[in-house]
């Protein structure tokens, strides 16, 4: 492998693994930021709030495992069915999309239809 040479994913397992790992990393960072903000806001109850950081980390791992697996397997299956090669950037982009969907779904929307 030469520097600057593009790398591609060809198998469903590789697409799933890359997507899962990127989703785990992005979800953990997002949940760490949210739990840190909660810790700063509720600084008076810091003993109770110290349990929030590990709880958010575990929840992020479970959410990322489910979301990353579904998206990774779907991406891998679509690219395999079309006999395409997948750039290694696509799993990262889909991990960002996953966390944005998670953030967006946390807001309640009134008067949808």
pLDDT value, residue 4? 86
Question: How many whole angstroms separate alpha carbon 76 and alpha carbon 14?
Answer: 8
Model pLDDT for residues 24-49, shown as the tens digit of each residue: 999 999 999 999 998 888 888 878 88
pLDDT of residue 46: 77
What are the tens digits of pLDDT across the range 48-76? Answer: 888 888 999 999 999 999 999 999 999 99
Q: Exposure of 92 by Cβ count < 10 A (0-12 exposed, 13-18 middle, 19+ buried)?
A: middle
pLDDT at 112: 57
Is residue 27 within 8 Å of residue 102, measured between CB atoms? yes
């Amino acid at each position: 492998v030469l520097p600057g040479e593009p790398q591609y994913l060809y198998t469903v397992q590789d697409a799933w693994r890359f997507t899962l790992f990127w989703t785990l990393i992005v979800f953990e960072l997002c949940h760490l930021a949210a739990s840190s903000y909660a810790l700063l806001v509720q600084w008076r109850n810091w003993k109770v709030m110290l349990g929030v950081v590990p709880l958010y980390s575990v929840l992020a791992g479970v959410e990322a495992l489910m979301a990353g697996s579904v998206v990774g397997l779907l991406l891998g299956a679509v690219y395999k069915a079309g006999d395409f090669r997948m750039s290694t950037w696509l799993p990262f982009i889909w991990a960002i999309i996953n966390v944005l969907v998670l953030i967006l779904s946390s807001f309640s929307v009134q008067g949808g239809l």
